[in-house]
Each structure stands twice: as structure tokens, then as C-alpha cells.
Structure 1
Amino acid sequence: MLHLRLLSALVGIPAIMYAAWQGGLLLLVVIGVIMVLGLMEMLNLLQALEVHPNRNLALLGSLMLLVVAYFQDWRYIGIVMTILIVLHLLALIRNYPRYKPGDGAAGIFATLYLSLLIYIYLISTLPNGNHWIFIMLVGTWASDTFAYFAGRTLGKHKLTPKLSPKKTWEGSIGGVLGSILAVFIYSIYLMPFSFGALVLLGALISISSQVGDLVESTLKRQAKIKDSGSLIPGHGGVLDRFDSMLLSAPLVYYFVSVSII
């Protein structure tokens, strides 16, 4: 299993880093593929919970949001959301009584939640955007790695015993410290900023990535499945690998765009 994880990382990480460095349409296409694959896994998770969103409408909503992101004309966000809601309402009428209000609400949730990955592309449009993406990636991966090893070696106090018994407070704190260290090391040489800002950013990246991971763990626990999918050898599904970025990406975007640093 470990060799599969390493092989997947050796192939996947350089590809993502290259797309992040190039930015533009290439990055948006890569994000779009990840987003759609993750959306399909999310819909499967919801189906396991006896919730049945309309897959076509969820996919259509994601594609429309990708188009809006490419043109960056935010006036159309409201139009897209209105169209999406109206289509779900029409599906509710057309497919009565099989299609329930909860199905439509779950479809909109899945679309919007996975669309948070679009913020990775939006980060690339900021000044020094490719470096900010790398900071997010480095911080997220460091958080995951440090949390794993800190939890294995020092973990004693359960973080969420009912939800994820293997996660500990020691591992969580180790993840935060690892993210801070990684963000600081990356930034000190390439993008020098104040120490306090880097500590805050590193901590927020780790905390948001851990929350994203726990959200997916909650859904998987309720659905009684181990992995969201099997697409990535050694890692499970797309959601299993990118769930931590669903919240860290928008956090980094707004952290930078509001000029906190």
C-alpha cells in the first residue's frame, strides 16, 4: 500500500505543481477535472445516505461555475445560482414524488462544496498567485504529514473518538506546527513577509485542511464506507486526497486578497 501511495504522489504532485505554475486555462481544466470527479464521488456518498440528487444538474452547475471563474465576471454568479435553483425546483415538480426537496438541496450542496476548489484557480490570478498556490499546497501537505507522524508517535488524547478514532490532539497540533514551519521555510526565501503573518497563515491552512478532512470523514462514517472512491492508487478517491483543500483554498484566497499580509 505504501509503495502505491508513493507512486501516486510521484506522478500526481509534479503534475499539479506544473499546472499551478502555468496557471491560466491549463490550471482551470485540471481543477475542473478534479472537481467533477470529486463531485461524482460526493454524489455516490449521498446516495449511500439514501439521498438522491440529480447528477446532471449537479454537473451542469459545476460547469457553469467553472465558466464564470474563467471569465471572472462575478455578475453571473447570481444568474448561475438562480438557474440552478430553478432547475432543481422543476425537477422536484417533474419527478414527484420520487424526487424530494432533500435531494435537490443535497445536489446544490454538493455542487457548491466541490466548487470551492475553483478558489485554487482564483488564487493564481492574484499577484504572485503561483507562489500562493504553492504555499497552500506545501502547508496542506505538511499539515497532513506532520499530523500523521505526530499522532503515531505522541498521540494519546483522541480528537474525535466517535468520528475518527485514530486522530489525536497531539497529531492535530503537530499538523498545525508542521504547516507553520513549511509555510515559513517556503516564504522566507521566496516571499519574505512578517513572521506573525506567516505563523497565522500556516496555522489557518492546517486548521482549515483538518476541518475539511473531518467533514469528509463524517460523511463516510455516516455512509459506512472507508474511502470515497478508488481512483487514486494507495489514496482512495479524489475526495480522500483533495478534501483538505476545499476549505484551505478559499481561506488563502481571501487572506491574500484582503491584504492582511
Structure 2
Amino acid sequence: MSDVEPPAPDRGPLTASSGNPIGSPATGPSNRKQRRAAGTSRAGRDLPAAIGVGLALLFTVLIGLFFMPLAFVVTATVFGVIGVWEVSRALQVRNIHVPLVPVVAGSVALPFAAYLGGTEALGFALVASAVAVLLWRSLDPTEDATRSILGGLFVILWVPFLISFALLLFQQPQGNFKVVTLLLLVVANDTFGYLLGAFFGKHPMAPKISPKKSWEGFAGSVGGAVLIGVMASLFLLDLPWWFGLVLAIATVAAATGGDLAESMIKRELGIKDMGTALPGHGGVMDRLDSIVFASPVAYVLSSTLVPGAM
């Protein structure tokens, strides 16, 4: 995510021992000098830790993409499962208790179904996961069963189902380079959006959802992603420049939508981050929010605009 919204007020019982909402940092006096001494950014992030974690994740993904395809599938699945756990835990603030067993099982099944069987297998796995949630809650009823079932379906559709499109993209010709292009565009969206937003941002896009996300930052995201997209299209994918242009604009729109969607959910739940699994970044979902929305867009565009992709 290119922008980090300030922590919303606590709205529920899911708090740490300090009284702060889970996923939020402890409040206390801070100033610019303290942030510099700690190596944190204006958004309160630990930059050295964030850079180190980001490079480690990038190295792991690249190894899987180019040398060990199954390792990439496993990595995507693990991140999806952790994301599901974070969202399910956060939803408890609103007394929505997601049935974790069938939801986690579905989170494992969907990416592997997409990788091994394509779109048809992914569709069957999605239906089977939804049925499993219904049956599980029927056999193990709880108060507010309807909210629990809907919460489970929401989590499945948001995290493992959307991330499975990255595995569908991976299975296409030059799939590893297409996934790399997707990740580069998401990184460009975050990086250029943050830089221009931090220095020139004056007009908020959605002040009630993410006050620090500005139209100037969005323009930076589009410009940076277009540059990366056109270069990747020409030199990585050996495709016309206009494909990179279209892919870049669509990816930025989808990634921004993913950012805003997660920001809206977090503000409703009263938390700053979905978790603390990734030092300097927050939770896994704080990194996946853009990717899960961008993956279906990249897959659809590649399937429809690239000859021989299917």
C-alpha cells in the first residue's frame, strides 16, 4: 500500500493487553527526531525492516517463478492462508466468527486447483469451499450463524479466490514473466504513488477512507506504472507497447481499489494494520491488498489481448 491511514478509534473488544486494537501500534509521544533516530518513515514505518522484508519476499518469489514452480504455488498459498487468518481474526471485532477449518481448507485448495486444473478446477474448488462452509456451520451451529457463513464466504472470495488468478496467469505462456510484470506494476504503483503523494499531495482521493491517498499520488502511480509497463511489455514479454500501457493503467486502477477497500474495512474495524507478520509492512494482507485485486485484471487482459495466451 502506498499510503497509510491513521489508526481509527477502537470500536470493539478485540484489543491487546495495552488496550490498543490488535494490529495497531501502541500510542504515545513521538516526534520527527524520534522517527529519524528509529529509521521510520513519515508514515511511521520501520524503513530498514520494510526494505529487508521486501527484498526477502522478492527473492523467494523469483526463485519460485523461474526455478521451482511448485515453490511459488506453495508460497502464494501460505500467504493466502496467513491473510485469511488475519482477516478472520480482525472480523471478530464485529462478532463475526469465521469457520476457520473449511475456510483455511478452501484457501489451500483454490490456488492448487488453479495451478493444476485451470479455470474450471478453480470454479469447482470455489463451489466446494462454499458448500464446506455451509455444511460446517450446519454441523457446528453457533449464534449468528448467518453472519458467520457470510463472513466465511467473504474471506474466501477476497483472499484465496482472487490470489488464485495469479496462478492462472502463471500457467500461461511466459507466465513467469507475466507474474513478474504484475508484481513490478504493483510495486511501481506503491512507490511512485508514495513519492509524489508525500511531496505534492494536496487533493485527497477518499478523505473518509484513506486521508493520505491523494490524486497527485494517483497520478504518480499511473505515470510510473505506465513507464514500467511499456518497458516490460517490450523487453520482458516481447509484446506491443500498447499492451503494457493498457495493463499498467488497469493494474493501477485495480491496485488502488484494493488499497481503498482494505482501508475502508480497517477503519470500520478500528485497526491500523491487519497484523504484524511482516516487520515494517504490517500484516500480510497489508501487502496483498493491491495484488489480489490486480491479479484477476492482469489475467483477463492477458487472456483477451495476448494471442495464444489461452
Distance 1:79 1:190, change over 3 A: closer
Q: Distance in 1 between matches of 2:124 and 2:244?
A: 37
Structure having the higher helix fraction is: 1
- Shift in Å at residue 136 of structure 1? 0.4
RCO higher in structure (CA 8 A, sep ≥6): 2
- Other-structure match for 1:246: 292
1:8 aligns with 2:25: no
1:203 aligns with 2:249: yes
Read off the aligned partner of 2:132 and give its amino acid letter.
L
Distance 1:208 1:82, change over 3 A: closer
**Which stretch has the larger CA shift, 61-70 or 231-240?**
61-70
Alignment map for 1:36-115 (pairs within 5 Å): 36-72=81-117, 74-77=119-122, 79-115=124-160
Structure 2 residue matching 1:201: 3-state secondary structure: helix
The answer to whether the 8 Å contact 1:91/1:99 transfers is no
Read off the aligned partner of 1:36 and give its amino acid letter.
V
Unaligned runs of 5+ in 1: none
**How high is the sequence identity, in percent, across the aligned residues?**
30
Q: Distance in 2 between matches of 1:144 and 1:67?
A: 28
- TM normalised by structure 2 equals 0.79
- Other-structure match for 1:162: 208
The answer to whether the 8 Å contact 2:102/2:136 transfers is no
The answer to whether the 8 Å contact 1:117/1:246 transfers is yes
Structure 1 residue matching 2:305: 3-state secondary structure: coil
Structure 2 residue matching 1:167: 3-state secondary structure: strand
Distance 1:74 1:197, change over 3 A: closer
- Other-structure match for 1:258: 304
1:171 aligns with 2:171: no
Structure 2 residue matching 1:9: 3-state secondary structure: helix
The answer to whether the 8 Å contact 2:64/2:70 transfers is no
Distance 1:134 1:70, change over 3 A: closer
1:212 aligns with 2:240: no
Equivalences, count: 261
**Which stretch has the larger CA shift, 7-16 or 183-192?**
183-192
**Which stretch has the larger CA shift, 58-67 or 242-251?**
58-67
- Other-structure match for 2:193: 147
Q: Deviations over 1:42-88 (max 9, x none)?
A: 11121122211101111112222233223216544454344333333
- Other-structure match for 2:233: 187
Distance 1:118 1:78, change over 3 A: closer
Distance 1:154 1:95, change over 3 A: same
The answer to whether the 8 Å contact 1:155/1:168 transfers is yes
Q: Distance in 2 between matches of 1:22 and 1:256?
A: 23
1:222 aligns with 2:271: no
Unaligned runs of 5+ in 2: 1-45
**Which stretch has the larger CA shift, 231-240 or 107-116?**
107-116
Q: Deviations over 1:87-109 (max 9, x none)?
A: 33334434445142121011011
Q: Distance in 2 between matches of 1:236 and 1:98?
A: 31
Q: Distance in 1 between matches of 2:121 and 2:183?
A: 29
RMSD across aligned positions (CA): 1.9
Structure 2 residue matching 1:72: 3-state secondary structure: helix
Distance 1:12 1:82, change over 3 A: closer
Q: Deviations over 1:112-139 (max 9, x none)?
A: 2112112222211111111111110111
**Which stretch has the larger CA shift, 116-125 or 142-151?**
116-125
The answer to whether the 8 Å contact 1:28/1:118 transfers is no
Q: Distance in 2 between matches of 1:40 and 1:70?
A: 22
- TM normalised by structure 1 equals 0.93
